[in-house]
Structure 1
Amino acid sequence: MSVVKSAVRVLRVFELLAKHPDGLTVKEISRDLSFPQSSTFNLVGTLFHEGYLQQDALKRYRLGPKLIEIGSAAIDCVDISAQGIPFLKQLMDGVQETVFMAVLSEDQLVYIAKIDNNRSIRTTAQPGSRKPLYCTGLGKTFLAFLPVEKRNRLLDEIEFVRFTEQTIMDKKTLVDQLKQFSNQGYAIDDEENEEGLFCLAAPVFGADGEIKAAISTAGPKERMLTRKSMITEQLLYTAGKITESIGGYVN
């Protein structure tokens, strides 16, 4: 893996300013990190413009408000994952299929946990990987249970790309599905992202009553369909227990 020098410099600026809550000037940042002053000026200016840094009257820079939002989201992910893992393991033992947990990151799905079964199907989904919302069970769970305004914004931004013959390629079909999923309490991915893979997914709600994560079970379509009722029951039970464990409730 190659290291991106500019990305490393951004991280070093954040780490330095975290140790100086009163802020530092561009000159001081440049000196402490041994960065050229001209490139440091451009780097800091960009971070300030994007809201990751803030500036006071003395031209000193401190960590900005956007980092609070990102940090809070990271804490939520860690908490939900830590609380959810024991329940996910129980779910995997019960259904004998691969189990996932994911969160929403802007307009994509990010996997934060995966519990494999000894007969797990091969899949590209791994912790840290990202996937679209419209063609995954986890993603469609978010679209089905997010507040209306946020859901509509995400729907308007979707650029449909075909992954399999089953991939939904238009907004109307997707919206019709989401209404059904919202009513029944769980979402389905029927070979829409990967050939042969059938997925059932359910929402996890936070203390504000809004969806914070989604969990799923996935396996070969034929095997999943023969046990769909049992798997769905255990999936919904597990989602409810994780919701309860993080102090959440269904709005």
Structure 2
Amino acid sequence: MQRALRLMEAAAEHPHGTTAKQLARRAELPLSTTYHLLRTLVHEGYLQRDRGRYSPGEATLGLTPAAPRHANTAGWLTTLSRDLDAAVYYALYVDGEVRLTHAVDGPSHAGIQEWAPFSESAHSHAVGLCLLAQLDEASRRDHLDRYPPVPLTRNTLTEPETVLSRLARIRRGEPVLENGEYERDTVCAAVPVTIGAVPSAIAISLPRSESHRLHSTAQELKARMERTLTSFAFTVTE
């Protein structure tokens, strides 16, 4: 798995494409191993090959890592929503912006309605906080300078330094929890998706009446993503 991720990260540094030899050198892998992994990554959609040059594929830039085993991202998220009995969301941080690409209602209740632009309110929702936590401090400050925190509910943190301190305390790979900070009657959790160089995250939301199961559902979401990554690792090393 680590070897495949190193290749994908190396390819992400060259969005217009680079050669297998350059990728092997950057990822510090034997050329024979590199070719083997590249064939699998191209087949699964994580990389694309054009005239001998490799660049990030659709699965790396915009799909969940479950894509190899599921027909499409929306279908996989629908399955996840059903299994967790929660609304599910997938978002990316691209070119300094939060981009929510998918949202699936839960089987028992609808997802959050975007009444304040998600792209401008990352300080207030779990998926935005999870994305910002994957950035360095300078990038976090830049985001908050461009989108100053504003109060959306009485629980929303509005002091930039307080938000930055919160982000600094988020442990790598751990779920980010949010309690009615974007929408008063909704609680949320998000986990990072750690494939490729583009920060991304999967989140769930529950009504406040079910807040008692937010922590356990967030841990199950984390476990599901870890199993998915393990499955991906077996795929690329066969």
Match runs of 1:25-174 below 5 Å: 76-80=60-64, 83=67, 84-121=73-110, 123-125=112-114, 130-174=119-163
Partner of 1:237: 223
Asked whether the equivalents of residues 140 and 164 of structure 2 are also in contact (C-alpha less than 8 Å), the reply is: no
Matched residues in 1 for 2:201 and 2:124: separation?
A: 14
Q: Which runs of 5+ in 2 are unaligned?
A: 1-54, 68-72, 234-238
Asked whether the equivalents of residues 186 and 205 of structure 2 are also in contact (C-alpha less than 8 Å), the reply is: yes
Residue of structure 2 aligned with 1:218, choices 205, 213, 217: 205
Greater C-alpha Rg: 1
Matched residues in 2 for 1:104 and 1:211: separation?
A: 7
Amino acid corresponding to residue 100 of structure 2 in structure 1: Y
How many residues are paired up?
Answer: 173
How far is 1:116 from its partner? 1.5
Matched residues in 1 for 2:114 and 2:231: separation?
A: 25
Q: In structure 1, the residue corresponding to 2:199 is in which secondary structure? A: strand
Asked whether the equivalents of residues 203 and 211 of structure 1 are also in contact (C-alpha less than 8 Å), the reply is: no
Matched residues in 2 for 1:216 and 1:93: separation?
A: 14
How far is 1:120 from its partner? 1.7
Structure 1 residues 104 and 122, CA gap change in structure 2 (3 angstroms) = same
Asked whether the equivalents of residues 81 and 112 of structure 1 are also in contact (C-alpha less than 8 Å), the reply is: no
Q: Which runs of 5+ in 1 are unaligned?
A: 1-70
* Higher relative contact order, chain-length normalized (CA < 8 Å, sep 6+): 2
Q: In structure 1, the residue corresponding to 2:124 is in which secondary structure? A: coil
Structure 1 residues 77 and 112, CA gap change in structure 2 (3 angstroms) = farther
Structure 1 residues 176 and 196, CA gap change in structure 2 (3 angstroms) = same
Structure 1 residues 240 and 88, CA gap change in structure 2 (3 angstroms) = farther
> How well do the aligned residues superpose, as a CA RMSD in angstroms?
3.2
Matched residues in 1 for 2:110 and 2:98: separation?
A: 20
How far is 1:245 from its partner? 6.4
Matched residues in 1 for 2:193 and 2:134: separation?
A: 10
Once the two structures are aligned, what percentage of the paired residues are identical?
Answer: 17
Matched residues in 2 for 1:78 and 1:205: separation?
A: 13
Return the TM-score normalized by structure 1. Answer: 0.58
Structure 1 residues 122 and 232, CA gap change in structure 2 (3 angstroms) = closer
Match runs of 1:171-210 below 5 Å: 171-182=160-171, 185-207=174-196, 210=197
How far is 1:244 from its partner? 5.2
Q: In structure 1, the residue corresponding to 2:167 is in which secondary structure? A: helix
